[in-house]
Structures are given as C-alpha cells and as structure tokens.
C-alpha cells in the first residue's frame, strides 16, 4: 500500500462527495464521502476502501452532497495530481476504445513503489582539526578539500588520488564532516541556441512552418513527409527549439525508444544535453522522479515510448510523433489505443501543435493531409546532395539459388563488390530463429505449437523449438515423434540464424553481426552492436526489422532484401502498405554516408504493385492505388472499422457466443457486421478465437452502436472473453 501523506479522515462526514475512478476493469466512478475539512481537489490520487481491501483511485469529480451512507476517502497520496487535461484524455480513450474507464485510467496512474524514499546524497567538507597521524594520502585530501567546498566522497577521493577508505578515515577523526547534498537534477536543461544546424533551403522552409505552428500556441497537425535521410529529425528539432524558447515543454514519441541511443546523441549535440528518456527500461525509481519533474515543469523535453503520452506535463507546447506510421504505436493489451491518434487527442485538449514525421506515412495520415485536415510538408531529397539508393529486383523465378540456399548469385556478387570496396552490406530478413518450420521427411509431420495455430520456429542458438506467439518452448528431438524415423527432421525456410550460416560459408573472413531481438544480452547488447556497426566494425549485417528503423550507418552501401514477399502473403488488406513501408525503411539505410547506396530485392513477384512502387520510386502512385482500394471497400480511413474478438478455451463455446453476437447485431443503416469467422490466428495461448468485423460509414456513431450491441447481448460466462478493437491494425 502506498504511504498516505495527508490523512484526510477526521472522523466526521463532510458536505462533499468525491466520484473516484479506481484502476480496475470497471466502467464508472464510485462515490465516496469527503471527510469534513479535508483538502481534496479534482485529480488528486487518494486511498479508498473497495470491498474488503483498500485501493488507490483518482478524484474524477467533486460535488456537494451529504454522503451519509457512503464510505469515506481514507487519505491522499503524495504524487502529482492527474490534471484536467489527462482526465479528459482518459475519458476520451475509454469512450473511443470501449475500454473500461478504470483500465484506461491505469495508463496514467503512477503510484510510488516500495523503494520510493529518495536517497539522500551525502557530501563531505573540511571541518575540524587535522588528525594526529598525517599520512601523505591524508595531506593530499586536506589540500584537495581546501576552501571549504562540499564534494561527494567519490569526487574528493578522485581529486586527491586516494581510496574511499582514506576519506572515511578522515570523517571518523572529525577532519571531514558529512553534509547533505541537494538531489541531482533529474535531467539537463536543453538549450535551444546550443548548436543550431545549418539547414538546407528545403529544410529551412519546413522548419519555419513548424516554428510558426509552435509560436501560435494552438492545436494543429503537420505531417513532415521526407525521404529517408532528408533530415526530418533536424527539422523537427527546430520545432522543439521554438517550444523551449517559449519556456514550454515538448514530447517526442518514438516507436522503439530503447534502441535509439543514436537519437539521444543527436539531441545532445543540438541542445547540449540529452532529453529525459521514458520507456519500460527505465527504473521505477527514476520514473517516479521523472513523473514529478515533468509535473513541476523542471523537465522540458521527454523522448519516450507510447506511455509517455500520459505524463503530467504542466505546459505542453509541442508533440512530435516520429515514424508516425509504425505499428508499434498500437497498444495491443488492456486499453487498445493507438498512441499517434491519442497524441493528437491530447494535443487538441492541451492546445498544442503536433508534428507527424515519416518517410512512409500511413494511408490514414496521407488522406488527412490531402483533405486539408493536416498541413503537409515534403522533403523530397536527401540532405547534403546524397542520393536515394538505386533499387533493383532480383527475379527469383529465374535467379534462385540451389535448394536450401537463400542468397542468389546476383546478390552474392553485389556483396563481394561491396566488401572489396571496404563498405558494409545489410541483409534483411524479417524472420527470427533458424527456420520457420520443421518437418519430418519421412511422414510429413510438422511441429505445431500446442497452444496456438502456429508452427514452432527452430532456434538453433537455444537448441529449441519456440512459439513466437505464446513463448512455448520444447527441445528439438533427434527422431520424429510421430513415425520414429531417425534423423529425418528437416528445417524448412530461412531465419536469420540460418542465413548467418550461409553468409559465413561464402565470406569466411568477413566480420558478420546478426541482430535479432531475441538474442541473449538484451537491449544493452543490441545497443553495443548497433554502435559497432555505425563505427564500421562489421562488414556484413544480418537482421530482422529492428535494423530497419531509423539507424544511421554511414558505411552501409548495399541492402539485400532476402525475401521481399514475406509480408504480402497474409491476406490482410494492410499487408501491401506495411510491406511498402518496411522495405522503404530498410532500403533507406543504404547510402547515408559519403558513398551512394543500392538495394536489391529478392522477389518472386517483381510485378506486384509494392515492388513496382519501390523500384520506380513512385510512392504517390502506390498510395493512390491503395487509397482507391480502401475507398471502394469502405475501409479506413474512408470508413470506420472495429473488430470484435470472441475467445474461449473451448472452440464450440467461442463460436456459439460469436454467433449469438451476430444474431443480436441489429446493424442500422450505414453499419455492416461481417462474420463471425475464425480470427487470422485461430488459436492463441490455448484460446480459440472468432472474429466479427464491424464496418461503418465515417459519420456513423460506431462507439454508441457497439456499446448498445454488447449491452443487449446476454453476458457470457467468464471463460468467454469479448474484446473490442476499434481501428484494428489488421483486418
């Protein structure tokens, strides 16, 4: 239980009632009596009784009333209150996503952990008489501490060139006295004039528009669409600088913040200090300090993942959403919100401008820009006269290597040339592990996850078969468990581990780095390896999508896409858009330094619209085609969409409830309910899944309809779960 700082319960019922939202899956606020004389305000975090236990909650509203029959608020928790803007954002998320209000509120609730006590930092300074035994080391300490300044023990030891034991000895003799130091600042103060970049004319035009948007202090959305390497970051830094000049705060949302050490370095080069980082890798103690410092206005710039959206900024003057098209912005558990969209909602509430940056914007954002809802700035060229990589397809129907090999002769030839020139190659394959499927050559048995409708992926590194959906792990047997044949199991298809083997066969002397998010060593190892690559300490890089995003590798001149068709097979209407974005990003890693780059795409479908768009560089034509398809089908952003997933351990029960929902759909004019059908992954973690899709006209009240529908369908037993996903990422 968190500590209760202001005890508000004085035993007498007051004349006010507090409506309090508690962080559980309940859709309303609960009323409590406010004890007489208690200083409570809306947004305060409080402790209240809930059934047999106590819980924290947030005061959503205060009103007059006796509340004689109500339980009383027990105490106030000493954390920054949840401001009105955040409470309105939470209300909006709960309304929009249909998540229970209590679950949505939990997104913004930060309560102190066990280790919340701020550790007092102790310093030392010269105090009393020198001790009797004056060794040379002790003399050096006394000399170093001359002048009466306060030093930390470590600093003083270093200045004097002695061990900590010497310092402690002098504290014991009373020569040095311990004094409390003020807490270290939680983040540096970014200086907008530290080192402004000399912008190109294109960049300067875009920056001027963004500065003006920030200076207006009103809500607006601007899309900065710039090819890879055009300097979008430098441009939105100018918007951040403007917010800083006005003394206001800025939030930069990034999809994979934990891997963006390079970004932090660039920010520090521009502003003299790194921004405050906010993501799940930050310790809870530091997060608590940051939370307070953001509320007090001490922290000016936060660069963070999705959840940074819920920080209590006191004066938010700018929100940047970098790589706005990224799927990682969609929260796939709890309240299913899209952080880009909710960033726009928050900025509207806070009357702040939003900058969306991407080389490959989402279709939604492009359409919003085309319709004039967003400003649209375009950076058509790379910075510094650099050119975009040349793109070429390798038609695998004609050029495929022998069976069990994945690198075609033209790609190998290009890798040899690149290596001979002392430059780096990157092989991109969006498949973790060794092989995506293992089968028995004798009986055809395939290894499937017992909990999911998915094949087990072989990870040779871990000597295991792994499910990428639920984490199920089993040992890879020597013999087929089905027919018993010895040594008959075969790996089918490539993963990055297998590709690495093939690369080493062809290039035994090359320095090869394979990057995959599941390798041991975690974020720290990835950061180190990314740095090594940037420093030129690798010849060939093999990686999954985590190498595709945002990195700057100056010596990288060749990108080989090993299987450009991987993402197209899914049957999902968004598959084309996603493949286009991913391949544009990854090929955009080539030629960012002094030497021009090229990209080779191994594909069996060189005439697919995605490949044609990539090869011709005609993104506009690709988007136009995608938009036409979506418009004709009434899909987002031309229509609205929600998915309803019904899941249960028993397949029949899941299907029966999905059918019951369909029968009670009563869809009005402008709304269609499609299905139920088996969800794309029909079984995950032991739960069978059926899906209904709700397609609605843009101006229909989708949320109102969904609420009423679910309310009138008889509530199923607990083992049947109904999840509503508004704006699903796949459909």
Binding residues for Zn(2+): 440, 443, 449, 452, 467, 470, 480, 483
Q: Is 577 exposed, middle or buried (0-12, 13-18, 19+ CB in 10 A)?
A: buried
Question: Which residue of 70, 470, 488, 667 would you call a contact of Zn ion, by CB under 5 A?
Answer: 470
Site string for Zn ion, 315-354 (x = CB under 5 A): ----------------------------------------
- Tell whether residue 511 is a contact of Zn ion (CB under 5 A): no
353, 321 contact by CB (below 8 A): no
CB of 720 to Zn ion, least distance (A): 20
State which residue, 552 or 730, has the beta carbon closest to ligand ADP: 552
**Interacting partner of 234 out of ligand ADP, Zn ion, none (Cβ under 5 to 8 A depending on kind):** ligand ADP
- Tell whether residue 689 is a contact of Zn ion (CB under 5 A): no
State which residue, 232 or 338, has the beta carbon closest to ligand ADP: 232
Encoding tokens for residue 154? Answer: 């470590």
**Interacting partner of 383 out of ligand ADP, Zn ion, none (Cβ under 5 to 8 A depending on kind):** ligand ADP
The SS3 call for residue 572 is coil
Rounded to an integer, what distance in angstroms lies between the CA atom of residue 42 and that of residue 86? 12
CB of 318 to ligand ADP, least distance (A): 17
Q: Are strands 301-304 and 249-253 parallel, antiparallel or unpaired?
A: parallel
Rounded to an integer, what distance in angstroms lies between the CA atom of residue 712 and that of residue 645? 17
State which residue, 327 or 552, has the beta carbon closest to ligand ADP: 552
- Tell whether residue 466 is a contact of Zn ion (CB under 5 A): no
CB of 44 to ligand ADP, least distance (A): 41
Question: Which residue of 467, 635, 641, 696 would you call a contact of Zn ion, by CB under 5 A?
Answer: 467
Kindly give, in sequence order, each residue whose CB lies less than 8 Å from that of residue 204, ignoring residues fewer than 6 positions away: none
**Interacting partner of 470 out of ligand ADP, Zn ion, none (Cβ under 5 to 8 A depending on kind):** Zn ion
- Tell whether residue 448 is a contact of Zn ion (CB under 5 A): no
State which residue, 233 or 424, has the beta carbon closest to ligand ADP: 233
Report DSSP letters for 344-413, one per residue: HHHHHHHT-EEEEEESS--HHHHHHHHTTSSEEEEE-S-GGG--PPEEEEEEHHHH--STT----HHHHH
543, 426 contact by CB (below 8 A): yes
CB of 566 to Zn ion, least distance (A): 20
**Interacting partner of 579 out of ligand ADP, Zn ion, none (Cβ under 5 to 8 A depending on kind):** none
- Tell whether residue 681 is a contact of Zn ion (CB under 5 A): no
- Tell whether residue 472 is a contact of Zn ion (CB under 5 A): yes
State which residue, 235 or 449, has the beta carbon closest to Zn ion: 449
Residue nearest to ligand ADP (CB): 231
Rounded to an integer, what distance in angstroms lies between the CA atom of residue 400 and that of residue 559? 18
State which residue, 168 or 570, has the beta carbon closest to Zn ion: 570
Taking the CA atoms of 222, 228, 234 and 240 in sequence, report the sign of the dihedral they define: positive
- Tell whether residue 285 is a contact of Zn ion (CB under 5 A): no
# chain residues binding Zn ion, by CB under 5 A: 7
**Partners of 439 in beta bridges:** 446, 490
**HSE-CB of 504 using CA atoms within 13 angstroms:** 9
State which residue, 264 or 660, has the beta carbon closest to ligand ADP: 264
Q: Is 11 exposed, middle or buried (0-12, 13-18, 19+ CB in 10 A)?
A: exposed
Rounded to an integer, what distance in angstroms lies between the CA atom of residue 35 and that of residue 14? 5
Rounded to an integer, what distance in angstroms lies between the CA atom of residue 243 and that of residue 317? 6
CB of 204 to ligand ADP, least distance (A): 9
Rounded to an integer, what distance in angstroms lies between the CA atom of residue 60 and that of residue 82? 9
**Interacting partner of 467 out of ligand ADP, Zn ion, none (Cβ under 5 to 8 A depending on kind):** Zn ion
State which residue, 472 or 598, has the beta carbon closest to Zn ion: 472
State which residue, 192 or 637, has the beta carbon closest to ligand ADP: 192
Residues that bind ligand ADP (CB under 6 A): 197-200, 203, 226, 228-234, 383, 552
Question: Which residue of 452, 466, 496, 671 would you call a contact of Zn ion, by CB under 5 A?
Answer: 452
The SS3 call for residue 442 is coil
**Interacting partner of 203 out of Zn ion, ligand ADP, none (Cβ under 5 to 8 A depending on kind):** ligand ADP
Q: Is 400 exposed, middle or buried (0-12, 13-18, 19+ CB in 10 A)?
A: middle
From 635, 636, 634, 608, select the one nearest 622 (Cα to Cα).
608
**Interacting partner of 544 out of ligand ADP, Zn ion, none (Cβ under 5 to 8 A depending on kind):** none
State which residue, 455 or 705, has the beta carbon closest to Zn ion: 455
Rounded to an integer, what distance in angstroms lies between the CA atom of residue 313 and that of residue 291? 9
Q: Which residues are annotated as a binding site?
A: 440, 443, 449, 452, 467, 470, 480, 483
CB of 239 to ligand ADP, least distance (A): 13
Q: Are strands 721-726 and 556-561 parallel, antiparallel or unpaired?
A: unpaired
CB of 467 to Zn ion, least distance (A): 3
- Tell whether residue 449 is a contact of Zn ion (CB under 5 A): yes
State which residue, 183 or 649, has the beta carbon closest to Zn ion: 649
**Interacting partner of 418 out of Zn ion, ligand ADP, none (Cβ under 5 to 8 A depending on kind):** none
**Interacting partner of 159 out of Zn ion, ligand ADP, none (Cβ under 5 to 8 A depending on kind):** none
Rounded to an integer, what distance in angstroms lies between the CA atom of residue 632 and that of residue 359? 26
**Partners of 379 in beta bridges:** 226
Would you tell me which residues interact with Zn ion (CB under 5 A)?
A: 449, 451-452, 467, 469-470, 472
């Amino acid at each position: 239980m968190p500590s209760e700082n202001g005890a508000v319960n004085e035993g007498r019922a007051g004349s006010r009632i507090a409506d309090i939202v508690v962080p559980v899956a309940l859709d309303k606020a609960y009323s409590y009596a406010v004890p007489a004389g208690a200083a409570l305000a809306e947004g305060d975090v409080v402790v209240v009784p809930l059934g047999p236990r106590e819980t924290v909650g947030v005061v959503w509203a205060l009103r007059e009333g006796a509340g004689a029959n109500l339980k009383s608020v027990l105490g106030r928790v000493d954390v920054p209150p949840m401001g009105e803007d955040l409470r309105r954002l939470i209300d909006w998320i709960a309304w929009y996503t249909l998540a229970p209000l209590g679950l949505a509120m939990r997104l913004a609730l930060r309560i102190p952990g066990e280790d919340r006590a701020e550790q007092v930092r102790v310093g030392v300074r010269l105090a009393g008489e020198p001790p009797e035994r004056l060794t040379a080391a002790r003399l050096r300490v006394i000399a170093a501490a001359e002048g009466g300044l306060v030093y930390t023990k470590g600093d003083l030891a270093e200045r004097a060139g002695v061990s900590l034991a010497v310092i402690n000895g002098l504290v014991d003799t009373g020569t040095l006295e311990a004094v409390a130091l003020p807490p270290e600042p939680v983040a540096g103060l970014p200086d907008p004039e530290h080192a402004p970049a000399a912008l190109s004319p294109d960049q300067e035009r875009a920056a001027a528009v963004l500065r003006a948007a920030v200076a207006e202090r009103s809500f607006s959305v601007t899309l900065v669409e710039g090819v890879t390497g055009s300097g979008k970051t430098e441009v939105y830094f100018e918007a951040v600088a403007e917010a800083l000049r006005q003394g206001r705060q800025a939030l930069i949302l990034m999809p994979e913040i934990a891997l963006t050490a390079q970004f932090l370095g660039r920010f520090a080069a521009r502003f003299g200090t790194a921004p405050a980082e906010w993501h799940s890798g930050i310790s809870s103690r530091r997060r608590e300090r940051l939370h307070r410092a953001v509320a007090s206005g001490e922290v000016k710039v936060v660069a963070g993942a999705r959840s940074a959206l819920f920080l209590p900024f006191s004066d938010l003057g700018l929100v940047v959403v970098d790589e706005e098209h990224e799927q990682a912005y969609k929260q796939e558990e709890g309240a299913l919100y899209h952080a880009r969209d909710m960033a726009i909602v928050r900025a509207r509430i806070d009357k702040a401008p939003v900058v969306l940056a991407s080389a490959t914007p989402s279709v939604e954002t492009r359409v919003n820009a085309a319709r004039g809802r967003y400003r649209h700035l375009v950076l058509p060229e790379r910075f510094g006269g650099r050119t975009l990589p040349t793109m070429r397809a390798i038609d695998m129907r004609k050029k495929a290597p022998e069976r069990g090999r994945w690198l075609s002769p033209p790609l190998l030839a290009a890798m040899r040339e690149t290596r001979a020139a002392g430059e780096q190659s990157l092989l991109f394959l969006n498949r973790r592990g060794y092989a995506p499927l293992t089968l028995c050559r004798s009986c055809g048995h395939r290894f499937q996850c017992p909990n999911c409708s998915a094949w087990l992926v072989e990870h040779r590194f871990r000597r295991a078969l792994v499910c990428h959906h639920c984490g199920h792990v089993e040992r890879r047997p020597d013999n087929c468990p089905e027919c018993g044949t010895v040594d008959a199991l075969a790996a089918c298809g490539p993963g990055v581990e297998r590709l690495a083997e093939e690369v080493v066969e062809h290039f035994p002397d090359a320095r090869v780095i394979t990057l995959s998010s599941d390798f041991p060593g975690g974020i720290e190892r990835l950061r180190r390896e990314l740095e090594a690559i940037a420093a030129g300490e690798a010849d060939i890089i093999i990686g999954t999508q985590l190498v595709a995003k945002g990195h700057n590798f100056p010596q990288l001149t060749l990108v080989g896409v090993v299987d450009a068709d991987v993402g197209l097979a899914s049957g999902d209407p968004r598959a084309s858009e996603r493949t286009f974005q991913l391949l544009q990003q990854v090929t955009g890693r080539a030629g960012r330094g002094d030497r021009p780059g090229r990209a080779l795409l191994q594909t069996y479908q060189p005439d697919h619209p995605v490949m044609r768009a990539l090869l011709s560089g005609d993104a506009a034509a690709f988007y136009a085609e995608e938009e036409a398809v979506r418009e004709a089908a009434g899909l987002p952003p031309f229509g609205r969409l929600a998915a309803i997933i019904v899941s249960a351990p028993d397949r029949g029960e899941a299907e029966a409830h999905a059918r019951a929902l369909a029968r009670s759909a009563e869809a009005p004019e402008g709304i269609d309910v499609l299905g139920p059908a088996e969800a794309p992954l029909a079984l995950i973690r032991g739960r069978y899944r059926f899906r209904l899709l709700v397609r609605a006209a843009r101006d229909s009240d989708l949320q109102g309809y969904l609420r009423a529908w679910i309310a009138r369908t008889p509530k199923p037993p607990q083992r049947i779960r109904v999840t509503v996903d508004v704006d699903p990422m796949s459909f």
